[in-house]
């Protein structure tokens, strides 16, 4: 395994739209799914009224970032065209920027053109589930746009990832993946890089819990770590419930993630996540 010391950067601030976001205290990213088939029905918003209502609620509850996505990445999700994704994402971002001009908006996409268009409309972070693997132009686009970039670990794509869960060394292989990706980004001049180990993406339930148990190891990469555990199947399948009943389990694992060094919690339920951060901060 390569040495994590090959990466040198401060993990405590992000330059977002010309403003420094301090991560000495963890922050919360609220999920806005502009899709009709997200795995959690309660997260789906499609009309402008729904989008703005949910955005306002999340901002009032303490979200630092809003993550807008138009392509469902749940296992087996239907592939949609770039035109459809563009339409969903850009309409939502335009509305949010107009109503909440100070909001920090992240665009959840693996397509460079969608990312470029979204930043043009006011998004200021790119959140890529494939870390550039699904679009060869993504890294150069991020470098040109000069925005923070969330690189997630995944194998294959949402249609194939469930069949790609064999690892010789789960943690070691994911760490090496991030060292390679981060060095590529650094060589292009990208400085603000967040890593997301990718809970639920090309990983079994047991592997997801192993990943969470060793989340603190990723701090050796000296990059902010994002944990996206919210209402995922590792929670509700373990508990024998549904995504709709997985809030308590999400809260429990979010606290675990913070204790293991997570800097950003990506969640459907902002109020509860902010409360977890407050309690964690008292520790």
Q: Name the region of 165 (left: φ>0; alpha: ψ -120 to 50; beta: rest).
A: alpha
Indicate the SS3 state at residue 170.
helix
Q: 91-113, pLDDT tens digit by residue?
A: 999 999 999 999 999 999 999 99
226 token code pair: 């994002």
What domain range includes position 57?
Answer: 26-282
Q: 140-185, pLDDT tens digit by residue?
A: 999 999 999 999 999 988 878 888 999 999 999 999 999 999 999 9
DSSP assignments along 69-85, one per residue: E-S--STTPPP--HHHH
CATH assignment at residue 90: 3.20.20.20
In a domain, residue 11? The reply is: no
pLDDT score at 11 = 47
Catalytic hit among 54, 266, 271, 278: 266
Q: Are strands 125-128 and 104-108 parallel, antiparallel or unpaired?
A: parallel
pLDDT score at 4 = 41
Half-sphere exposure of 28 (CA within 13 A, CB side): 26
In a domain, residue 3? The reply is: no
pLDDT score at 160 = 86
Stated length of the chain = 283
Catalytic hit among 88, 111, 232, 260: 232
In a domain, residue 134? The reply is: yes
**Predicted structure pTM score:** 0.92
In a domain, residue 14? The reply is: no
In a domain, residue 19? The reply is: no
In a domain, residue 272? The reply is: yes
Q: Is there a catalytic annotation at residue 232? A: yes
CA distance to 227, 259, 277, per residue, from 256 (Å): 10, 5, 11
Query: How many domains are contained in the chain?
Result: 1
- Residue 18's contacts (CB-CB under 8 Å, 6 or more residues apart) are none
In a domain, residue 52? The reply is: yes
In a domain, residue 9? The reply is: no
Q: Is there a catalytic annotation at residue 266? A: yes
pLDDT score at 96 = 97
């Amino acid at each position: 395994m390569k040495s994590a010391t090959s990466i040198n950067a401060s993990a405590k601030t992000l330059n977002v739209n010309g403003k420094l976001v301090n991560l000495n205290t963890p922050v919360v990213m609220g999920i806005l799914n502009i899709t009709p088939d997200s795995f959690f029905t309660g997260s789906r918003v499609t009309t402008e009224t729904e989008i703005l209502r949910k955005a306002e609620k999340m901002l009032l509850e303490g979200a630092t970032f809003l993550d807008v996505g138009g392509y469902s990445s749940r296992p087996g999700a239907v592939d949609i065209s770039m035109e459809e994704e563009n339409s969903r994402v850009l309409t939502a971002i335009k509305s949010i920027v107009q109503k909440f001009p100070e909001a920090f908006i992240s665009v959840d996409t693996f397509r460079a053109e969608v990312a470029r268009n979204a930043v043009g409309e006011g998004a200021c972070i790119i959140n890529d589930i494939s870390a550039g693997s699904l679009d060869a132009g993504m890294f150069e686009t991020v470098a040109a746009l000069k925005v923070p970039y969330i690189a997630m670990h995944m194998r294959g794509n949402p249609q194939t990832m469930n069949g790609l869960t064999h690892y010789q060394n789960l943690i070691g292989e994911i760490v090496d993946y991030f060292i390679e990706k981060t060095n590529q980004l650094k060589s292009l001049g990208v400085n603000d890089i967040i890593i997301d180990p990718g809970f639920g993406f090309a990983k079994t339930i047991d592997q997801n819990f192993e990943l969470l148990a060793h989340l603190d190891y990723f701090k050796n990469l000296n990059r902010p770590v994002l944990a996206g555990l919210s209402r995922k199947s590792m929670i509700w399948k373990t508990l024998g419930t549904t995504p709709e009943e997985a809030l308590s389990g999400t809260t429990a694992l979010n606290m675990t993630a913070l204790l293991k060094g997570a800097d950003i919690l990506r969640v459907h339920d902002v109020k509860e996540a902010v409360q977890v951060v407050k309690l964690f901060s008292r520790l």
